Structure 1
Amino acid sequence: MSYPLDTPLGRFGVRNFEDGPDRCVASIPAGDAVNPLTGAPTIAPLAMLVDHAGGLVNHHRRDADEWTVTSELSLELRPEAVEIIAAAPGEPVIATARPFGPKGEIALALCELTHRDVALATATVRSFFISAPDRIAPFSDGPPAPPPPIPFAEKMAVTVAESGGATQVLLQPQDPVLNNSIGIVHGGVSAMALEMVAAAAVNSGRAGAPLRTASLRVNFLREFQSGPESRYVGTALRVGRRTGIAEAQAVGADGRSAIIARVTAYR
């Protein structure tokens, strides 16, 4: 199953192969993804895929009057994941997600990511259950299609506001295609942007071999709305010869952090 282009999943080429409460299998193309802050290939699409596949498994476990909201996402990668994808950029990354433990007030999904049957990453998505909101907007019934052949940053509708130095900033102007079914920026889109600003922060001014993202941890605190002042801010906490740590925030127009993340990178 593919999604229409006027949905966040369709824009990034996500496809479903299995879809149910016991197992979800989905894919995303990642070979053309470039971080607009650094010009280097990025593993950011894997965060989108994890958010989708793991969140979908949790969503299938809801009761009829419930909805799910993702609270945490974690992704642990092989540092050479970018190089593995680059060896066959036309092949998608595959995620296989399963539930972990019984359904309670929260649900946890485990996710394994592969590329041409090579293990790339392991991940988790934790969701909690809320009363079904009144403002759920169904996705359109438009025909599915391949993602548009435009630069990755254009798909995300982000623009570079600040680059260079220990702080890196991407703006998130309004683009309704990037919204989820309750009208806020899709969590997978935000997770991708947070990885990119954090990765750019640890690599700012770095000569020689880049530090490559090995772990991404995201906490969703509140709704994140796109707009002229909405932005992703990445700040390096520590950068050494072989490792780097950065934090990132999605900041709304009110100046409050809506989503926070931490990236650890290695040479």
Structure 2
Amino acid sequence: MSHPLNTPLGRFGIVTSVDGPAECVASIPVGGMTNALTGAPTIAPLAMLVDHACGLVNHRRRGPDEWTVSSELSVEVDPDAAAIIAEAPEEPVVATARPFGRKTDVALAVCDLAHRDTVLATATVRSFYIRTPGALGSFSDGPTGPMPPGTLADRMAVRVAEGGGAGQVLLQGEDPVLNNLIGIVHGGVSAMALEMVASAAINSARDDDLLRTSSLRVNFLRPFHSGAESRYVGTSLRVGRSTGVGEAQAIGSGGAPAIIARLTGYR
């Protein structure tokens, strides 16, 4: 199932082929995508795919008066993932997600991500079940098809901050297509941006032989809205010869972190 281009899923070319409480199978194109800050190939779209596939499994397990809100997302990635994808960039990455454990007030879903016959990553999403919000929006019907033209940053409506100060900074511009049904920036979009700024932070002093993402862990703390002051900030915690650890925050207009992430990279 191709998603309308006026939705977050359609914007990034996600196609869902299996959709149910026991399994979700979905794909996303990743080949040719680059980090807006470094210009290097990026695996950030894997975070968007994980948020969708695992989040959908959790969502399909909801009760009649429940809705889901993601609270945690984690991805463990083969550091060679970008190179493997580049061998056949026209082939999408496919996620197969399934429930893990019992559903209570929260639920956990796990998934494997593969490119052709090679498993690239394993991932999880934990979701809270809340009472159905009273003012859910809706996505209008629209055309479906391949991703619109432009860079990954264009599709995410992010731009590099000029003179970003401490750390690596992407500004989150307003674009209603990137919002979910409760009117906040889609969690997968934010997870992609957090990966990009954290990766850039641990590679800020490296001209080549870049550290490659191997682990990304995201915690969603509060709603994150786009706007003039909304931004993603990445900083390095420790960088060695062959490994580095960085952190990232999504910060809204109030100045408090709405989403935080920790990234580990290896040479």
Tell me, yes or no, whether TM beats 0.5: yes
Q: How far does residue 101 in structure 1 lie from its aligned partner after superposition? A: 0.7
Instruction: Between 145-154 and 38-47, report the one with greater CA deviation.
Output: 145-154
Measure, in 2, the Cα distance between the counterparts of 1:28 and 1:2.
11
Report how many aligned residue pairs link the two structures.
267
Partner residue in 1 for 2:49: 49
Partner residue in 1 for 2:78: 78
- 1:33 is paired with a residue whose SS is coil
Partner residue in 1 for 2:250: 250
Partner residue in 2 for 1:125: 125
Measure, in 1, the Cα distance between the counterparts of 2:158 and 2:164.
17
Partner residue in 2 for 1:207: 207
Q: How far does residue 166 in structure 1 lie from its aligned partner after superposition? A: 6.4
**Does structure 1 residue 7 correspond to structure 2 residue 7?**
yes
Partner residue in 2 for 1:159: 159
Partner residue in 2 for 1:59: 59
Measure, in 1, the Cα distance between the counterparts of 2:163 and 2:155.
20
Is contact 1:165-1:204 (8 Å) kept? no
Partner residue in 1 for 2:198: 198
Q: How far does residue 205 in structure 1 lie from its aligned partner after superposition? A: 1.9
Which sections of structure 1, spanning at least 5 residues, go unmatched? none
Partner residue in 2 for 1:89: 89
| Percent of residue pairs bearing the same amino acid type | 70
Please tell me the residue identity of whatever aligns with 1:193: A
Measure, in 1, the Cα distance between the counterparts of 2:198 and 2:52.
21
Equivalences for residues 171-182 of structure 1 within 5 A: 171-182=171-182
Q: How far does residue 253 in structure 1 lie from its aligned partner after superposition? A: 0.6
Please tell me the residue identity of whatever aligns with 1:144: T
Q: Is the alpha carbon distance of 1:222 and 1:159 closer, same or farther for their aligned partners in structure 2, counting shifts above 3 Å?
A: same
Partner residue in 1 for 2:266: 266
Partner residue in 1 for 2:22: 22
Alpha-carbon RMSD across the aligned residues, in angstroms, is 1.1
Measure, in 1, the Cα distance between the counterparts of 2:250 and 2:113.
25
Please tell me the residue identity of whatever aligns with 2:217: R
Measure, in 1, the Cα distance between the counterparts of 2:73 and 2:208.
31
Is contact 1:18-1:26 (8 Å) kept? yes
After superposing on structure 2, the runs of 4+ consecutive aligned residues of structure 1 that deviate more than 3 Å are 162-166
Measure, in 1, the Cα distance between the counterparts of 2:225 and 2:39.
26
Is contact 1:248-1:262 (8 Å) kept? yes
Q: Is the alpha carbon distance of 1:208 and 1:163 closer, same or farther for their aligned partners in structure 2, counting shifts above 3 Å?
A: farther
What CA deviation, in whole Å up to 9, does each residue of 1:125-181 have, x standing for no partner?
000100000121122211211111211110000010057886100000111010001
Please tell me the residue identity of whatever aligns with 2:220: F
Please tell me the residue identity of whatever aligns with 1:18: V
Is contact 1:162-1:170 (8 Å) kept? no
Measure, in 1, the Cα distance between the counterparts of 2:119 and 2:149.
27
Partner residue in 1 for 2:143: 143
Instruction: Between 79-88 and 163-172, report the one with greater CA deviation.
Output: 163-172
Please tell me the residue identity of whatever aligns with 2:59: H
Measure, in 2, the Cα distance between the counterparts of 1:173 and 1:62.
32
Please tell me the residue identity of whatever aligns with 1:167: G
Partner residue in 2 for 1:234: 234
Measure, in 2, the Cα distance between the counterparts of 1:208 and 1:168.
18
- 2:54 is paired with a residue whose SS is helix
Measure, in 2, the Cα distance between the counterparts of 1:154 and 1:22.
34
Q: How far does residue 207 in structure 1 lie from its aligned partner after superposition? A: 3.2
What CA deviation, in whole Å up to 9, does each residue of 1:5-57 have, x standing for no partner?
11110000000000000000000000021101001110000000000000000
What CA deviation, in whole Å up to 9, does each residue of 1:184-205 have, x standing for no partner?
0000000000000000000002
Instruction: Between 137-146 and 11-20, report the one with greater CA deviation.
Output: 137-146
Partner residue in 2 for 1:31: 31
- 1:213 is paired with a residue whose SS is strand
Partner residue in 2 for 1:104: 104
Please tell me the residue identity of whatever aligns with 2:156: M
Measure, in 2, the Cα distance between the counterparts of 1:2 and 1:82.
24
Please tell me the residue identity of whatever aligns with 2:236: A
- 2:36 is paired with a residue whose SS is coil
Q: Is the alpha carbon distance of 1:55 and 1:163 closer, same or farther for their aligned partners in structure 2, counting shifts above 3 Å?
A: farther
Which sections of structure 2, spanning at least 5 residues, go unmatched? none
Measure, in 1, the Cα distance between the counterparts of 2:162 and 2:245.
19
